[in-house]
Amino acid sequence: MLTYEPGDSLAHRLDPRTKLAVQMSFAAAGFAHTTPVGLTVLGVVAAVCLRAADTAPFSALYSLRYAIPFLAVGPIVEAARLSSPWFEPAAAVDPALASIRVMLVFLVAAAYVRTTPVRESRAAIQRLVPGRFGVALGVGVALVFRFLPLVRRDLLRVREAQAARLGDERRLDERLSLVAAGGLRRSFARADALALALRARCFAWNPTLPVIRLGRRDVPGVVLALALLSSTIV
């Protein structure tokens, strides 16, 4: 599961706004350059981002393993035919390029998540988006980053509890419904506890956030973001 990991890599030391700019400009460039050459160049950029985050590509791909089957099935479904010829390889080219593009965006996002604390992400969003809308957006992003690992952990615990009760001998649909129902109950319970905790702590619209500053070390990241954005416009 993708979570923040403390470290001293180049990406860890960058301002979160710089990393957000790189991530958004990379996504824009990915949708602008859909040719194999363009995706190859973007793949090199994604590798550089992972290297700056001190994250191994295989580790990032393993963290995204649940999304990979969906990206792989898309080109196969697009090329499949109900009559002769049963499979048309040419029809799978564009969906395959689209899947590669999405995967590259995921890898850059993985580098961001691994190197940016949740509080800094919230601070960056609230600095970029003024007013209460920015506060609400920052809180939403922070809650998503904090809740996803908990939800995954709850689902694993439900599965382990079902296996301990010989639930793995049930039919697949029964196992899925039991795990889904247990996961939803725990998620709603966590949401209720969170709402109570926010009220108990007098949730305010002007929280004290960590100090974030742009420095000289952010220059390469800003230049990369501008170059990606320029390539999108051109």
Residue 80 pairs with which residues in a beta bridge?
87
Residues 173 and 86 in one domain: no
Q: Return d(Cα 71, Cα 124) in angstroms, integer.
A: 31
Q: Pull the structure tokens for residue 216.
A: 């000289």
Residues 113 and 127 in one domain: no
Which range among 17-21, 54-58, 205-209 shows the weakest confidence by mean pLDDT?
205-209
Q: Is residue 137 part of a domain?
A: yes
Number of Cα atoms under 13 Å in the Cβ half of residue 116? 26
Structural domains counted in the chain: 2
Residues 93 and 140 in one domain: no
Say whether pLDDT at 1 is over 60: no
**What single-letter amino acid sits at 231?**
S
CA separation, residue 17 to residues 12, 67, 70, 173, 207 (Å): 12, 26, 31, 44, 19
DSSP 67: T
Q: Mean pLDDT of all residues in the chain?
A: 81
Residues 24 and 94 in one domain: yes
Residues 135 and 107 in one domain: no
Residues 91 and 111 in one domain: yes
Q: Is residue 207 part of a domain?
A: no
What pLDDT does 45 receive? 93
What pLDDT does 47 receive? 92
| pLDDT confidence band for 152 (50 / 70 / 90) | confident
Residues 51 and 138 in one domain: no
pLDDT digits (tens, 9 = 90+) for 91-114: 888 888 888 888 898 899 888 888
pLDDT digits (tens, 9 = 90+) for 157-210: 877 777 777 767 777 777 777 777 777 787 778 777 777 776 776 666 566 677
Residues 65 and 17 in one domain: yes
**What single-letter amino acid sits at 68?**
I
Count of residues making up the chain: 234
Q: Is residue 58 part of a domain?
A: yes
Q: Is residue 151 part of a domain?
A: yes
* Residue range(s) defining the domain that contains residue 150: 123-200
Say whether pLDDT at 222 is over 80: yes
Residues 59 and 15 in one domain: yes
Residues 104 and 75 in one domain: yes
